[in-house]
Amino acid sequence: MGSPAIGLKRFIFWDYPRAGWQYDVMVGIILLFIFLTPREWFRDQPRASSIVMVESTARGTSEYWIEPQQLEGVAEAERKSKASALLEARFKKHNLVRLEPIFDSEQEIRGYLAVTKP
């Protein structure tokens, strides 16, 4: 009766020699868990970045695409300061010059184009 308890204790505390078959079984179980566990169990889904640097049209400036959800619910007067704070937190040392809303054909905001100077 003490043997299964001792075996479980050794398994939990990883108390088997490295070249032993028990060690290989534990490693196999761990690898099976890593590769066969569905991502949904941990809600670990890849997410696109909400702020992306885009190719700049003007020399000496940088342009960033900001997803509309980042500035949702922010008053129009405060949008520029909020966008500046987001860019500062993500990219460091940028001075926001202009923030332009980008609309689709139905006049809904699709995102914001932030123009910065170093």
In this predicted structure, what is the pLDDT of residue 28? 93
Q: Are 76 and 85 in contact (CB under 8 A)?
A: no
Q: Are 64 and 85 in contact (CB under 8 A)?
A: no
Torsion of CA 34, 35, 41, 42, to 10 degrees: 50
In this predicted structure, what is the pLDDT of residue 62? 87
Residue 8 token pair: 């479980």
In this predicted structure, what is the pLDDT of residue 33? 93
DSSP letter, residue 51: E
Q: What is the block-wise mean pLDDT of the chain (118 residues), using blocks of 10 residues? A: 78 84 89 89 71 83 90 90 88 84 92 89
